[in-house]
Amino acid sequence: MEIKIIKKNKKNFLDLLLLGDEQEDMIDKYLESGKMFALYDDDDLKSICVVTKEGKDVIEIKNLATYEKYQRQGYGSKLIKYIFEYYRDKCKTIFVGTGDGTSNVSFYEHCGFKLSHKVKNFFIENYDHPIFENGVQVADMIYLRKEI
Ligand SMILES: CC(C)(COP(=O)(O)OP(=O)(O)OC[C@H]1O[C@@H](n2cnc3c(N)ncnc32)[C@H](O)[C@@H]1OP(=O)(O)O)[C@@H](O)C(=O)NCCC(=O)NCCS
């Protein structure tokens, strides 16, 4: 398994980026300034993650995705663990925002994040189409945080 930092042509990963954040103009807001990590196993891309610096000692995970056929095989957690190590001496707090009530919340809790705060109606006000998970519309963004 290998994790690479991607500096050029980040849009080549658009299929995976859209799995983590389904509107391209929202991705464009953080892709250039963000640091992109890509996890490969057997030379095959499995997962990506984009992280931004949000202030002194604070970073945010803006996008994380594992190809559907490789989900629940530990790749997402391995990438998050790598990011904890990578940033351990560079920052103190990691935030991640995701749809309130989605299964992603369980994933981030599994990775050691704790619930922080909500942004009411974030997905309704910032996306040009309704976002659904398992047939239920997602309205609020829930932030989780972890101290590293
Ligand atoms: C969220 C995501 C990145 C997790 O990646 P992954 O490679 O499947 O994660 P892992 O295999 O490391 O999962 C580790 C643990 O997290 C939890 N978890 C992961 N996906 C879950 C789900 N859909 N429902 C409930 N718990 C889940 C489980 O505890 C899992 O352990 P287990 O499989 O032994 O039960 C992946 O589901 C994904 O790409 N989803 C679509 C994109 C997306 O919504 N990204 C989040 C943007 S904020």
pLDDT per residue as tens digits for the range 103-115 = 999 999 999 999 9
Q: Say what the pTM is.
A: 0.97
State whether residue 20 is helix, strand or coil.
helix
Task: State the virtual CA torsion across 94, 95, 98, 100 in degrees, nearest 10.
Answer: 120
How are beta strands 35-41 and 132-133 bridged, if at all?
unpaired
pLDDT per residue as tens digits for the range 70-129 = 999 999 999 999 999 999 999 999 999 999 999 999 999 999 999 999 999 999 999 999
- Which residue lies with its CA nearest to atom 45 of ligand 1? 20
User: What fold does the segment set 2-147 form as a domain?
Assistant: Aminopeptidase (3.40.630)
Scanning the structure block, which residue is given the tokens 């996890």? 39
Residue 31 structure tokens: 């892709």
Query: How far is 62 from 34, CA to CA, in rounded Å?
Result: 8
Query: Following DSSP, what letter does each residue of 76-94 receive, concatenated?
Result: HHHHHHHHHHHHTTT-SEE
Scanning the structure block, which residue is given the tokens 């892709």? 31
- Which residue lies with its CA nearest to atom 33 of ligand 1? 72
Domain boundaries, the chain: 2-147
Residue 109 structure tokens: 């809790």
Q: What's the gap in Å between 74 CA and the centre of ligand 1?
A: 8
Query: How far is 87 from 69, CA to CA, in rounded Å?
Result: 29
- Substitution site in 72, 141, 142, 146 for ligand 1 pocket (most atoms within 8 Å of beta carbon): 72
